[in-house]
Amino acid sequence: MITFSINGQEYEGQEGWTILDVARWNGIEIPTLCHHGAVEPYGACRLCAVEVDDGRRSRVVISCMYPIKAGIKVQTHSPRVLNVRRWIVQLLLDESPEAPQIKELARSLGVTPSRFQKTGVDFACHLCGLCVRTCQEVVGVQALTFGNRGLRKEITSPFRTASKDCLGCGSCVYVCPTGAMEQLFSRVAG
């Protein structure tokens, strides 16, 4: 067993567990968006950020991927962590002001829409990649993928048309946290 601390309190976990695993096991609240127990962690949303002091330096890491180590000191709500989290939620909220899950997160962190908020977007995809990972890891096909990069990055099927690999199972729609996949599904499934 590996012993370390979260918010000043000692916890134990097994080799190979992440900070998030231990936190969830012990009922410590860390928000997530792109994390799902059924698929491999991806590390895109960064909401699960925590601050880790490993004795040499203190830095912000993401708890869904950081493997626990003996003696580390984890802070789940330090000022640096909250700054990261607040900004992520702010940016997401401005992208899709109506998404229920984001609205709820914003409420809990006291974030309100800024002057940069987009209008007319109900179900913006946040590229959390749960659909892509589910399609590949759970369903076992690769009908969906990320296309492009940067601001043009998108979830799509090859050539943006019906995918011949798609089974039409709808797992991607089920797992989508924003509802964006519902709109894309008919195109992918054909």
Partner 1 sequence: MQMQIKNFDDLELAKKVGLTELYPDKPKILVGMATCGLAAGAQRVYDLLHKKAQQAHWDGVVEKTGCIGFCYKEPLVDAVFPGNPRITYETVTPEIAESLWMEMAAGKIPENHVMARLDVDDMILDGGPRKFYKGKLTGFLAKTPRYEELDFIKLQRHIAMRNCGFIDPDNLLHYVARGGYFPLYTALTAMSPEEVINAVTTAGLRGRGGGGFPTGVKWASCRKAKGWPKYVLCNADEGDPGAYMDRSLIEGDPHAILEGMLIGAYAIGSNEGYIYVRAEYPLAVKTLQRAILAAREAGLLGENILGSGFSFDIKLNLGGGAFVCGESTALMASIEGKPGEPRAKYVHTVDKGLRNRPSNLNNVETWANVPVIIGKGADWYREIGTEGSKGTKIFSLVGQVKNVGLVEVPMGVTIKDLVMQVGGGVPESREFKAIQIGGPSGGCIPKEHWDLPIDFDSLWEAGAIMGSGGMIVMDNSTCMVDVAKFFLDFLIDESCGKCIPCRLGLKRMREILEEFSTGKGSLADLDELESLSEAVKDGSLCALGGSAPNPVLTTLRYFRKEYEAHILEHRCPAAVCKALITYSINPETCNGCTACAAECPQDAITGEKKQPHTLDPSLCIKCGACFEVCKFGAVAVA
Partner 2 sequence: MSVTFKSLENILERYPPSPEHLISALQDVQAKFNYLPAAAMTAVCDHLGVPLSRGWAVATFYKAFSLEPKGEHDIAVCLGTACHVRGGRNVYDKFRRDLDIANEEGTTRDLKFSLRQVRCLGCCSMAPVAQVDEEIQGNLTQRKAGHLLKMYRKR
Smallest CA-to-CA distance from 178 within 113, 127, 108, 118 is with: 127
Pick out residues in 130-159 that bind partner 2 (CB under 8 A): 141-149, 156-159
187: which residues sit within 8 A by CB, 6+ positions away? 157, 160, 161, 162
**Which partner, partner 1, partner 2, none, binds residue 68 by CB below 5 to 8 Å per kind?**
none
Q: Which is nearer to partner 2, 109 or 138 (CB)?
A: 138
Spatial contact of 84 and 49, defined as CB atoms under 8 Å apart? yes
**Which partner, partner 2, partner 1, none, binds residue 158 by CB below 5 to 8 Å per kind?**
partner 2
Nearest distance from C-beta of residue 35 to partner 1, angstroms? 13
Pick out residues in 115-174 that bind partner 1 (CB under 8 A): 116, 126-127, 146, 148-153
Nearest distance from C-beta of residue 153 to partner 1, angstroms? 3
Q: Where do the H-state alpha helices sit in 53-78?
A: none
**Quick one: which of 2, 91, 162, 169 contacts partner 1 (CB under 8 A)?**
91
Pick out residues in 46-65 that bind partner 1 (CB under 8 A): 46, 49, 59-62, 65
189: which residues sit within 8 A by CB, 6+ positions away? 162, 163, 166, 168
Smallest CA-to-CA distance from 65 within 33, 40, 31 is with: 40
User: 79-95 and 100-109 helices cross at what angle (nearest 10)?
Assistant: 140
Contacts to partner 1 by CB under 8 A: 43-46, 49, 59-62, 65-67, 80, 83-84, 86-88, 91-92, 94-95, 116, 126-127, 146, 148-153
